[in-house]
C-alpha cells in the first residue's frame, strides 16, 4: 500500500512537470526548458547528497544509476522527436507501454506478482495505452514507420529508467538520483550544444526561469518518491503506477487549458484507476 502511494506521488510530480514543461515550451525553446530544468534538478540532488555527507556506494550501483539517466535522456529525446516527425495518436500509446520493460525484468529476476497484483497491472497498462490514444482526424495519413520506431525507443528508454533506478536504489537512493541526473544532464547538454551549432534557438527569458526551475524540483521529488517506492514493492508494480503521470498531465490540460478528453480516453482513465485500486488493495 505504501509503495503504491509513493508511486502515485511520483506520477503526480512527473505529470505536473510534464504539463508545465509543455506549456513553457510553447513560448520558450524546448532546448532551453530541458537544460534549465535538468540543471536545476542536478543542483538540488547535489545539495541533498552533500547535506547527508555519506560517501558513494559500490560502483555497480553507480553504473545502474548512469544507465537510468541515459534511459531517461533517450526516452525524452525519442518522444519529442517522434511527436515532431510522426503521428501523436501512434507515438503516445506505443511509448505508454514502457512499464512492460520493468514488469518483464521483474519476472526475469523472480519478482512474480500475485493474482490481484497481476489483474491490477493488466488493467493499469491497458488503461495507459487507451488513455494515450487520440482519435485521428479524417483525411490524416499516419506516418506509421517513424511513429512506431520513436515510440518504441521512448518506451524502452522510460522502461530502462524504471528498471535501472530500482537496482541503483538498492545501494543508496540519493546517490542513485545523483548518478542518474548527472548522466541525463550531460546527455541533454550535448544535445543542446549540437542543436545550437545547427542553428536552433536556445535563448532563455528571465520570466520563464522560475517555471523551468520548478520543473526541475518536481522531477527530483518524483524521482525520489519512485526510487523509495522500488525499495518497498515489486518494480513492475511501482513502474506501472508511476506511469500514470500521463493521466495527471491530461487532467491538468482539461482543467487549465480546457482540452476535452475523447470518450476512449475517459475509458482509459477509468481503467487505469481501477488497476491502481486493485494494486492498492494488495
Query: For residue range 249-265, what is the model confidence (pLDDT) as tens digits?
Result: 778 877 887 767 678 77
Name the residue with higher pLDDT: 105 or 184.
184
Please give the C-alpha separations between residue 95 and each of 30, 85, 101, 156, 168, in angstroms, as whole numbers: 20, 15, 11, 8, 23
Segment 206-233 shows an average pLDDT of: 91
Share of the chain above pLDDT 90, in %: 28
Structure confidence at residue 69 (pLDDT): 94
Asked whether the beta carbons of 242 and 125 are under 8 A apart, the reply is no
Phi-psi region of 258 (alpha: psi -120 to 50; beta: other; left: phi over 0): left
Structure confidence at residue 222 (pLDDT): 93
Longest dimension (CA), the chain: 60
> For the ranges 44-48, 179-183, 276-280, which has the lowest average pLDDT?
276-280
- Which residues of the chain form beta strands (DSSP E)? none
Segment 158-180 shows an average pLDDT of: 92
Distance in angstroms (rounded) separating the CA atoms of residues 281 and 273: 12
How would residue 170 be classed by pLDDT, with cut points 50, 70 and 90?
A: very high
Residue in this structure with the C-alpha cell 506520477, named with its chain if needed: 11
Segment 131-140 shows an average pLDDT of: 55
Segment 140-146 shows an average pLDDT of: 57
Share of the chain above pLDDT 70, in %: 85
C-alpha 85 chain-centroid distance: 21
Res 62 pLDDT > 90: yes
Segment 229-253 shows an average pLDDT of: 81
Q: Considering the chain, what is the average pLDDT of its residues? A: 81
Res 81 pLDDT > 80: no
Q: Please give the angle made by the CA atoms of 271, 275 and 281, to the nearest 5 degrees.
A: 145
Distance in angstroms (rounded) separating the CA atoms of residues 250 and 231: 29
Q: Per the structure block, which three cell numbers stand in for 266? A: 475517459
Res 84 pLDDT > 70: no
pLDDT tens, position by position, 93-119: 667 677 777 777 777 777 777 777 788
Asked whether the beta carbons of 224 and 165 are under 8 A apart, the reply is no
Angle formed by the axes of helices 144-168 and 88-95, to 10°? 30
Distance in angstroms (rounded) separating the CA atoms of residues 76 and 119: 29
Q: Per the structure block, which three cell numbers stand in for 173? A: 537512493
Name the residue with higher pLDDT: 121 or 176.
176
Structure confidence at residue 141 (pLDDT): 47
Return the closest-CA partner of residue 99 out of 220, 226, 266: 226
Name the residue with higher pLDDT: 140 or 235.
235
Residue in this structure with the C-alpha cell 555519506, named with its chain if needed: 54
Distance in angstroms (rounded) separating the CA atoms of residues 56 and 62: 8
Is pTM, for the whole model, over 0.95? no
pLDDT tens, position by position, 10-49: 999 988 887 888 778 777 777 788 889 889 999 999 999 9
Amino acid at each position: 500500500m505504501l509503495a503504491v502511494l509513493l508511486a502515485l506521488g511520483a506520477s503526480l510530480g512527473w505529470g505536473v512537470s510534464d504539463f508545465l514543461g509543455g506549456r513553457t515550451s510553447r513560448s520558450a525553446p524546448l532546448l532551453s526548458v530541458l537544460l534549465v530544468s535538468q540543471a536545476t534538478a542536478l543542483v538540488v540532488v547535489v545539495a541533498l547528497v552533500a547535506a547527508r555527507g555519506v560517501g558513494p556506494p559500490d560502483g555497480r550501483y553507480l553504473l545502474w544509476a548512469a544507465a537510468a539517466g541515459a534511459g531517461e535522456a533517450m526516452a525524452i529525446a525519442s518522444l519529442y522527436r517522434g511527436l515532431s516527425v510522426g503521428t501523436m495518436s501512434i507515438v503516445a500509446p506505443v511509448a505508454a507501454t514502457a512499464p512492460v520493460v520493468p514488469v518483464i525484468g521483474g519476472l526475469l529476476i523472480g519478482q512474480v506478482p500475485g493474482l490481484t497484483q497481476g489483474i491490477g497491472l493488466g488493467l493499469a497498462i491497458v488503461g495507459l495505452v487507451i488513455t494515450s490514444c487520440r482519435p485521428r482526424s479524417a483525411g490524416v495519413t499516419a506516418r506509421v514507420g517513424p511513429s512506431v520506431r520513436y515510440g518504441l525507443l521512448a518506451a524502452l528508454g522510460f522502461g530502462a529508467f524504471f528498471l535501472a533506478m530500482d537496482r541503483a536504489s538498492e545501494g543508496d537512493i540519493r546517490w542513485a538520483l545523483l548518478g542518474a541526473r548527472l548522466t541525463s544532464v550531460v546527455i541533454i547538454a550535448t544535445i543542446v550544444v549540437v542543436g545550437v551549432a545547427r542553428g536552433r534557438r536556445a535563448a532563455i527569458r528571465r520570466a520563464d526561469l522560475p517555471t523551468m526551475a520548478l520543473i526541475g524540483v518536481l522531477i527530483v521529488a518524483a524521482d525520489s518518491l519512485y526510487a523509495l517506492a522500488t525499495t518497498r514493492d515489486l518494480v513492475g508494480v511501482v513502474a506501472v503506477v508511476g506511469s500514470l503521470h500521463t493521466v495527471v498531465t491530461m487532467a491538468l490540460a482539461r482543467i487549465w487549458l480546457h482540452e476535452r478528453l475523447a470518450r476512449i480516453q475517459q475509458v482509459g482513465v477509468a481503467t487505469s484507476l481501477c488497476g491502481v485500486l486493485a494494486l492498492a488493495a494488495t
